[in-house]
Amino acid sequence: MESSLDPNFDHSIFQHFVHNHSNKKGNITDPVAITFHIAEAIQGEYGLSQDILQSELNAVNNHFSNTDIEFFMCGAPRQISGEQSYTTRNADELNARNHIANTINIYLVNDVMADVFGIGGFAFFPWDPRDNLQKYIMIDRGTPNLAGVLSHEIGHFYGLYHTHTTLNGLELVNRSNCEFRGDLLCDTEADYNLALGGIDGCKYVGEVKDSNGDFYMPNPKNMMSYSSHRCISEFTLDQSNRMNFYHTRDLSYLKSECSFPDFLISSAEPSKSIRADEDIKIKYSLDLDGDIDLEEIEVYFWLSDDEAELGTIIQKETISLPPGSTSLDLDFNIDFPINRSTNTYFLTAQVDPEFKVLEQEEGNNLHTISVTVDNSALEDQVVFANPVSNNILKIFLRDKSTKTELNFYIWDHLGRLHKQVDVFKNREEYFEEIDVSSLADGLYILEAHFPDKGRSESFNFYKQSL
Ligand SMILES: [Zn+2]
């Protein structure tokens, strides 16, 4: 985004800074905190893991290798809820809800609609009059060169203009006015705006002339040009100097270290073996690092038959966090869904699933174990918990007939029908739960009827309220 000139920029002060500063380069770098926010709408779709972002950030740091600045991730990327597309208006709202003070807040979203030529995002200049809390960077995740686009927008954040800017007036090819026109830097070639054409691959092939009749020779690799996304890869020394200048003058409020509290959940039991009608009894330990200002926290349990996916939530628990605790032993009784056949499943415990605590790392809030369900010890037809005392009749049927209609009837001993449930049986091991709260205590007959086969199985069960 390009909207304003630095009202306090003094060319001689800048020259003085560059002169005095030139010794520093290479000796020491200042760590600068970046907070990445990943809007929910793109989670998964692009697989923006912490590892991927770290490697993009490493590439950004390579681009900044001629500056005094080295960026680091301030805690894990924040997963936030977001919209499909952003203009400055709803981006301000997104930032107001999620901003982490004194860090560079970078939002990775599906679509940014701010800039006609759109290099893939926008940022605010250091001299922008808005409050620091209202300055951030918006990035369109769909770019083929995320590190390049990040560096471009961070470049604006650190006071760089586009190489083709005309805010200061038009720069001439012969450099006679390069200190005071265009991007104010003399080692960036005069540029008429490569979004208008003139590049082939990453080579300049245009024949555009300036007002003197000199041919432009812009560099399509310059990070602050509107070249193709794939090409932008270089800052010049003057650009690096200008970023150092704003780093010192306006951006020294940015943190050089980050420390947040952290949860870590683990279990000494890597696997469990149960029958489908049994609960899973499992112990976890929860480590708490740093100050967590909450009295209780939620733990969700997810079950999946695919290790790569969380699956569905099967239980939610709330645990209390005694003040000052650094480690908690947790015992859970997981009510395993009865309708799972003999197979291996993955049970994942997730601490703070709604991200109430701003953490150093969120990846260690999850712990997965495998659960093997082995029903071979069960008889072919079983009514669990007989007598039924809790109003739920649990039925297990092992039967070769699959892809078949199945009707359950509940009769009393006088032959009166009390309940009918029609289902579809699509696998050998079949489970069903029938609500029998409307039945009075007593003896009943459950009939499992296969209408396609004209065949029935019957069992007796008792209902006996506690
Ligand atoms: Zn730009």
pLDDT digits (tens, 9 = 90+) for 196-253: 999 999 999 999 999 999 999 999 999 999 999 899 999 999 999 999 999 999 999 9
pLDDT at 44: 45
DSSP SS3 for 439: coil
Q: Which residues pair with 395 in a beta bridge?
A: 383, 432
Convert the pLDDT of each residue in 82-115 to its tens digit: 887 888 788 999 999 999 999 999 999 988 876 5
Token pair for residue 97?
Answer: 């809800």
Band the pLDDT of 441: cuts 50, 70, 90: very high
| CA dihedral sign of residues 236, 241, 246, 247 | positive
* Distance (Å) from CA 153 to ligand 1 centroid: 6
Q: What global pTM score does this model have?
A: 0.72
pLDDT at 24: 58
What is the amino acid identity at position 180? F
The CA-atom distances, in angstroms, between 205 and each of 1, 172, 198 are 27, 19, 5
Residue 345 has pLDDT above 90, yes or no: yes
* Distance (Å) from CA 116 to ligand 1 centroid: 11
pLDDT at 115: 53
- Answer yes or no: are the C-beta atoms of 296 and 322 closer than 8 Å: no
Query: Of 157 and 378, which is predicted with more confidence?
Result: 157
| CA dihedral sign of residues 14, 20, 21, 26 | positive
Token pair for residue 354?
Answer: 């709604």
DSSP SS3 for 164: coil
* Distance (Å) from CA 124 to ligand 1 centroid: 10
Token pair for residue 100?
Answer: 């982490």
**Cα(294)–Cα(63) distance, rounded to whole angstroms?**
41
**Cα(382)–Cα(457) distance, rounded to whole angstroms?**
11
* Distance (Å) from CA 220 to ligand 1 centroid: 14
What is the amino acid identity at position 149? V
* Distance (Å) from CA 146 to ligand 1 centroid: 14
Band the pLDDT of 2: cuts 50, 70, 90: very low
